[in-house]
Amino acid sequence: MRYWRIKDVMTHEVVRTGRGTSFKQVARLLSEHRISGLPVVDDGQKVLGVISETDLLQHQTQRDGGHGRRHVRLPKLTHAARTAASKARAGTAEHLMTRPAVTVTPEQYVTEAARAMREHKVERLPVVDDKDRLVGIVTRGDLLRVFLRTDEETRRDVMEQVTRGLGLPRHAVDVTVEAGVVTLRGHLEGRSDAELAAQIAAHVDGVVAVVDRLTHRPDTTRPHLTSGVSGHM
């Protein structure tokens, strides 16, 4: 396996709730199942949004924040403040949830899920089928499973992908892996081959870092450097 897909790491049995579920029922679900968030679905199991512990805490903070204080009228509320105020009044999942939900499909790559989590600042993504129905969920912890592969598994994948990508025999590149750190050794035709080999290795799932010890023939296509200008091979 070179690139892990979401279907390889996702949880299939998903704790979910409907839009009419009360605040206390949502809190109870999170507590009983020891989870930090869950998707909200309609009657057809299509994902409407996601509720996290942050949404529940925001609800309580906004409700309790003004206790014992004088109310001050603010001239203008930001979108985030309006959302927070709405959740403070929320009594059901429909008003607690964050929407629209950021979702992924089982066939997408783990790296795509990681990118979506980073961009949208979320810790879980509902997994949906081609009709947008909930079929699983993936968390940050699930994504970290790719780094639990053995060094030998990673080494085999790197070797296969580098030699195949460059059209080289397997003995052309020596690959060693220790604690997920890949070291490449060998002599290649040109700088571009060496750079491509390192790039391919870096994108194999489970690789923490790449140490490039590859050498290559002098690049004769580069323009002649004038005196006083140094270059790096």
The domain ranges of the chain are 6-66+81-146, 149-216
Q: Which residues contact 80 (CB under 8 A, 6 or more apart)?
A: none
pLDDT digit string (tens) for 189-200? 899 999 999 999
Tell me the C-alpha distance between 28 and 10, whole Å.
23
Per-residue pLDDT, 231:
38
**What does the pLDDT average to over 128-157?**
91
Per-residue pLDDT, 61:
62
Does the domain spanning 6-66+81-146 belong to CATH 3.40.50.1220? Answer: no
Per-residue pLDDT, 208:
86
Q: For tokens 């081609």, what's the residue?
A: 130
Per-residue pLDDT, 56:
83
If you write DSSP's letter for every residue of 203-231 in order, what string do you get?
TSTT--EEEEEEEE---TTSPPPPTT---
- Residue 82, pLDDT > 80, answer no
Per-residue pLDDT, 59:
63
- What single letter denotes the amino acid at residue 59? H
Element (H, E) at 27: helix 23-33
Cβ atoms of 128 and 103 closer than 8 Å: yes
Per-residue pLDDT, 64:
55
Per-residue pLDDT, 115:
86
Instruction: Select the more confidently predicted residue: 54 or 15.
Output: 15
Per-residue pLDDT, 58:
72
Per-residue pLDDT, 222:
44
How much is the mean pLDDT over the chain? 82
pLDDT digit string (tens) for 19-54? 999 988 999 999 999 999 999 999 999 999 999 988
**What does the pLDDT average to over 102-114?**
91
Per-residue pLDDT, 87:
53
Q: What are 88's strand-pairing partners?
A: none
Tell me the C-alpha distance between 171 and 13, whole Å.
45
Cβ atoms of 80 and 98 closer than 8 Å: no
- What single letter denotes the amino acid at residue 16? R
Nearest-5° Cα angle at 135, 131 to 136: 140
pLDDT digit string (tens) for 162-220? 999 999 998 899 999 998 899 999 999 899 999 999 999 998 888 889 999 999 888 65
Nearest-5° Cα angle at 117, 114 to 118: 85
For 134, the token pair is: 């909930």
pTM: 0.62
Does the domain spanning 149-216 belong to CATH 3.30.300.130? Answer: yes
Element (H, E) at 139: strand 134-139
pLDDT band at residue 89, thresholds of 50, 70 and 90?
low
Strand order in the sheet with 174-178: 174-178, 181-188, 209-216
